[in-house]
Amino acid sequence: MPFRNLPTDAAAPLSSLVEVRPGQVSSRSLTRIGDALAGTLLAFDEGESVSEETYAGDTLYYLVEGEADVNGVWMAAGDVLMVPAGTLHAVEPVCACKVLQLTLF
């Protein structure tokens, strides 16, 4: 099954699938299809971030909750941004937030 960690018997809000935890970045893998696609739901506590990264594929960021700066672009809940393959970038939350990250390799 290419998708995992998703509800199958009842619909649920995407934001409910990962929790913001004090002093942490939490994640929930939603899919990994070989070298083709990776999907992860991330939750950042206020003041937490991830280091700059480069992905071999184009990466879509969808801000589920909160506000964040992704590669110098301010995002609010409901916004989407694509970072091209090979671009060094980071997710810097402005406050506690949840982000869906999809990378196509």
pLDDT of residue 65: 98
Q: Is residue 11 situated within a structural domain? A: no
Q: Which domain holds residue 63?
A: 28-104
Q: Is residue 12 situated within a structural domain? A: no
Q: Is residue 8 situated within a structural domain? A: no
Q: Is residue 23 situated within a structural domain? A: no
Looking at the structure of the chain, the number of domains it has is: 1
Sheet of 67-70: strand order equals 73-76, 67-70, 91-93
Question: pTM of whole model > 0.85?
Answer: yes
pLDDT of residue 1: 63
Q: What would the two tokens of residue 4 be? A: 């995992």
Q: Is residue 89 situated within a structural domain? A: yes
Q: Is residue 22 situated within a structural domain? A: no
Q: pLDDT, tens digit, for every residue of 22-81?
A: 999 999 999 999 989 999 999 999 999 999 999 999 999 999 999 999 999 999 999 999
Region 75-90: mean pLDDT is: 98
93: CATH: 2.60.120.10
Task: Measure the CA dihedral 21/96/23/28, to 10°.
Answer: 50
Beta strand residue intervals within the chain, DSSP E: 25-33, 37-44, 58-65, 67-70, 73-76, 80-83, 91-93, 97-104
Q: pLDDT, tens digit, for every residue of 61-75?
A: 999 999 999 999 999
